[in-house]
Structure 1
Amino acid sequence: MTTTVKPPSAPPTAIRPKVVARTGLYAVLAANVVAVAVFFAQAGFASNALVVLGRLFGLYGALLMAFQLLLVARLPWLDRRIGMDRLTSWHRWTGFGILWTLLAHAVFIAFGYAEGTDVGPIGTIVDLAETTEGVLRAVVALGIIVVVGAVSGRWARRRLAYETWHFIHFYTYVAVVLAITHQVAVGTTFTSSSVARTYWYGVWTVALGAVVLGRAVLPLWRNLRHQFRVEAVVPESDNVVSIYITGRDLDKLPARAGQFFLWRFLTKDRWWQANPFSLSAAPDGRTLRLTAKAAGDGSAALRHLQIGTRVFAEGPYGAFTALHRTRPESVLIAGGVGVTPIRALLEELHGHAVVIYRVATDRDAVLYDELRELARAKGAELHLVTGPVQPDKLAPAELLRMVPDIADRDVFLCGPPPMMSAVLANLRELGVPKAQTHFERFSLAG
């Protein structure tokens, strides 16, 4: 442990970017919910109650699809303030909302049009698909959404390879296009009002435009501008390696300590794989550094990269940054290779910091020498905690012993999921406010 005199405290951050972004998203969604209701009412209720309900569910299903696109667009403004893991969580629940609203749309429409006829609801759907423009496309779109919803369940995710799951999810874009053309062809709001028609075209233009901007235009533009290449490959241990990336105008790249990129190394056998790795050093305008542990063939092959290898990087992503600080002093808790963003954050953070590094053995303490020197230079306290998982070395009493004023500090946490869950529970027990607890999991929306 290294202990030094605390430097003067820095002023806390007054702005709550996460709250601003979250409130903005909710406000946009609420405003559109009201707008849809108004346009729906203006179109009139010429059919029976079941058909009316079916049309309303269809409109809100379409609105949720547009909102879903916004969540997966990876727009920098939202990502830096909310974080990709939380956007992914919202994306998942919005997806289930789409599934149930569109199923309700189909059921109410089928029973509504079947009312008073000898043809059942299934026969009604078949007749509509054969005789009404756009209905067949809607049936196909609903089928795709049902399949995507099925493979999104936890039981299915555990049984599918990520590549398979991701490939199936790409068909969601096909469903979106089919749903748009269905809405244009038979949607009453399109046929009854030019204002409503303009509104819906605007909604879909913004949603699809956000996806194109965030998922294609920005990554392509940044890679053309910066021309990333491997500058050095440095083994840190038997199974951990650091990769130094250089390029042009890196001082113009809006990356911060704590963020991560999707790295695609353009070799013959790895160009198609993109892996999320955090920056393990604060960006200095000249190089970017990632540090990865061998967890599979892709990460194990990194130590064999050749100097000069071209790199396609998507990002920076993540809200695990000093942007969200609420207190002048902080606690940084790392577990295993989760030390990489923690080490970068320590380099950038001002004010007194306490760093707690949890590993099984001393040999597992990657970048520990760097942490020790950095802590000494910044006047931070560093605790290396080793030993088996049980007993809990980061239990509330242990945390309080190392950081008596932990409830008055920001806490940044990164490590294996079981450790993070346990520490988060311990922090709640110690009364650390939720707003002062910062963590992020590697979850990729869409």
Structure 2
Amino acid sequence: MVARTGLYALLAVNAAAVLSFFLAAGFASNALIVLGRLAGLAGALLMAFQLVLVARLPWFDRRIGMDRLTSWHRWTGFGVLWTLLAHVVLITFGYAESSSLDPLNQLVDLAGTVRGVLRAVVAFGVLLVVGTVSARFARRRLAYETWHFIHLYTYAAVVLAFTHQIAAGTTFASSAPATAYWYAVWGGALGAVLVGRVVLPLRRNRRHRLTVSAVVPESDDVVSVYVTGRDLDLLPARAGQFFLWRFLTKDRWWQANPFSLSAAPDGLHLRLTAKAAGEGSASLRHLPVGTRVFAEGPYGAFTALRRTRPESVLIAGGVGVTPIRALLEDLRGHAVVIYRVAEEGDAVLYGELAELARAKGAELHLVTGPALPDRLAPAELARLVPDITGRDVFLCGPPPMMDAVIGSLRELGVPRRQVHFERFSLAG
């Protein structure tokens, strides 16, 4: 809550500063141009805020969770698109109002005659493409690797937009304090990305020197990869967290995929378990032992640190069992584990879950059957866990299943603060 409030306060303070600099610059143009400039400033501020959200700074990640930060990044991204669209339209129509040109030719004229405008047009085009592929209908149809590669072009758009602001931004150049402010905003946002996504991962990987120590098939389409390295007892990883894994083979070194730890870290090994869902995850089965690994993380707030009650319920769907299995190993107190799959053959790591449950005195329920009727409806959850309202609930699985379970928990009256879940939909 403190971290979330801090982010809101940071955005509010900066919005107030942007508005004050805008008003201090005065209004020397028609109303459309004035409103267009204000929309452009709002878009620039939201773009900088987006960078902070996906900078992967440990302090925010541990308190908020990568999934929520990524969700905010996504919605902020649509805010950026709409404010920048308003900026382009209002500025173009504003200048067209005082010239003999139609809006389209006015935009072409501005791009050809005003320094920095062409860069802004290119940046907006790039953002439109990234926004389109990030929409749900497109995201479901793209492999993670393809979507991630396209998304990286956002950074080129950010640089182009910043140089446009330097070249053509009236408010940017209106006063020395305004200029210093915008340099600080962009410097802070880009600096956060540099530290969180370059400096910290490079330092951590240099220290731990990770390599693949074993590759173990769990089923026809699921494989576990064991990773070892130096001083792993000093790596601040917890059960329930995930890494972005980059396996440095000649054909896959450039791809990074998010996989949860499927076992609690023991100071000697890290283990991930993945189902073949794309080229990157399918290739894990063929990794040679000894392959160097570059891992970014650990990320996520889906850990035992979020507990508010001494007893818990762990609900897993499909391969979402991986962080749940690790959490069961780490959690103290009585636990009830509910594993939802279509059929028994889909129950990855079920043997390990059963053994862990026996060792820890936990209850384990394997729930099978088709998605409809809903096997985890409120009545069924209440039957399996009569005291569910007095427990923490940890949930991980496919989005439709998670949405249904969250609805059931709400209907049963489980307090929101006791429901913990992680959605792995990374951006950037």
Whole-angstrom distance in 1 between the partners of 2:347 and 2:89: 57
Aligned equivalent of 1:226, options 189, 208, 223: 208
Pick closer, same or farther for the CA change 1:364–1:182 going to 2, 3 Å: closer
Whole-angstrom distance in 1 between the partners of 2:156 and 2:253: 26
Aligned equivalent of 1:173, options 155, 165, 178: 155
Report the equivalent of 1:113.
95
Whole-angstrom distance in 2 between the partners of 1:106 and 1:238: 52
Residue 154 of structure 2 corresponds to residue 154 of structure 1? no
Partner of 1:366, secondary structure, is coil
Aligned equivalent of 1:353, options 332, 335, 345: 335
Q: Quick one: which amino acid aligns to residue 233 of structure 1?
A: V
Report the equivalent of 1:208.
190
Question: Which one has more relative contact order, counting CA pairs under 8 Å at least 6 apart?
Answer: 1
Whole-angstrom distance in 2 between the partners of 1:390 and 1:111: 52
Aligned equivalent of 1:373, options 355, 371, 375: 355
Report the equivalent of 2:296.
314
Whole-angstrom distance in 1 between the partners of 2:140 and 2:80: 22
Report the equivalent of 1:246.
228
Q: Following TM superposition, by how much is the alpha carbon of 1:102 offset from its aligned partner in structure 2, in angstroms?
A: 1.2
Report the equivalent of 1:193.
175
Q: Following TM superposition, by how much is the alpha carbon of 1:204 offset from its aligned partner in structure 2, in angstroms?
A: 0.2
Report the equivalent of 1:139.
121
CA offset digits 1:258-285 (Å, max 9, x no partner)? 0111222222333333222211111122
Moved more, 77-86 or 37-46: 77-86
**Match runs of 1:289-438 below 5 Å:** 289-438=271-420
Partner of 2:266, secondary structure, is coil
Whole-angstrom distance in 1 between the partners of 2:4 and 2:424: 20
The 8 Å contact of residues 394 and 421 in structure 2, kept in 1 or not, is answered as yes
The 8 Å contact of residues 151 and 427 in structure 2, kept in 1 or not, is answered as no
Structure 1 runs (4+) greater than 6 angstroms displaced: none
Residue 243 of structure 2 corresponds to residue 261 of structure 1? yes
Q: Following TM superposition, by how much is the alpha carbon of 1:408 offset from its aligned partner in structure 2, in angstroms?
A: 1.3
Identity %: 79
Pick closer, same or farther for the CA change 1:436–1:111 going to 2, 3 Å: same
Partner of 1:88, secondary structure, is helix
CA offset digits 1:357-412 (Å, max 9, x no partner)? 22344443332332233223323222233344444332222211221110111100
Segments of structure 2 that go 5 or more residues without pairing to the other structure are none
**Match runs of 1:12-161 below 5 Å:** 19-161=1-143
Report the equivalent of 1:286.
268
Segments of structure 1 that go 5 or more residues without pairing to the other structure are 1-18
TM-score by length of 1: 0.90
The 8 Å contact of residues 145 and 280 in structure 2, kept in 1 or not, is answered as no
Q: Following TM superposition, by how much is the alpha carbon of 1:37 offset from its aligned partner in structure 2, in angstroms?
A: 0.5
Whole-angstrom distance in 2 between the partners of 1:151 and 1:120: 31
Whole-angstrom distance in 1 between the partners of 2:364 and 2:138: 42
Q: Quick one: which amino acid aligns to residue 150 of structure 1?
A: T
Q: Following TM superposition, by how much is the alpha carbon of 1:297 offset from its aligned partner in structure 2, in angstroms?
A: 4.5
Q: Quick one: which amino acid aligns to residue 346 of structure 1?
A: L
Whole-angstrom distance in 2 between the partners of 1:296 and 1:109: 43
Pick closer, same or farther for the CA change 1:384–1:110 going to 2, 3 Å: closer
Q: Quick one: which amino acid aligns to residue 409 of structure 1?
A: R
The 8 Å contact of residues 137 and 179 in structure 1, kept in 2 or not, is answered as yes
Moved more, 130-139 or 218-227: 130-139
Whole-angstrom distance in 1 between the partners of 2:344 and 2:124: 54
Q: Following TM superposition, by how much is the alpha carbon of 1:119 offset from its aligned partner in structure 2, in angstroms?
A: 2.7
The 8 Å contact of residues 250 and 286 in structure 1, kept in 2 or not, is answered as yes
Report the equivalent of 1:442.
424
Whole-angstrom distance in 1 between the partners of 2:145 and 2:355: 41
Q: Quick one: which amino acid aligns to residue 58 of structure 2?
A: P
Whole-angstrom distance in 2 between the partners of 1:361 and 1:176: 47
Whole-angstrom distance in 2 between the partners of 1:181 and 1:345: 46
The 8 Å contact of residues 84 and 445 in structure 1, kept in 2 or not, is answered as no
Whole-angstrom distance in 2 between the partners of 1:152 and 1:292: 23
Pick closer, same or farther for the CA change 1:410–1:134 going to 2, 3 Å: same
Q: Following TM superposition, by how much is the alpha carbon of 1:445 offset from its aligned partner in structure 2, in angstroms?
A: 1.2
Partner of 2:310, secondary structure, is coil
TM-score by length of 2: 0.93
The 8 Å contact of residues 148 and 427 in structure 2, kept in 1 or not, is answered as no
Partner of 1:432, secondary structure, is coil
CA offset digits 1:79-128 (Å, max 9, x no partner)? 22222222222222211111111121122222222334323333333333
Report the equivalent of 1:9.
none
Pick closer, same or farther for the CA change 1:288–1:99 going to 2, 3 Å: same
Whole-angstrom distance in 2 between the partners of 1:233 and 1:152: 33
Q: Quick one: which amino acid aligns to residue 171 of structure 1?
A: Y
Please provide the CA RMSD for this pair.
Answer: 2.1
Q: Quick one: which amino acid aligns to residue 334 of structure 2?
A: H
Partner of 1:350, secondary structure, is coil
Pick closer, same or farther for the CA change 1:257–1:199 going to 2, 3 Å: same
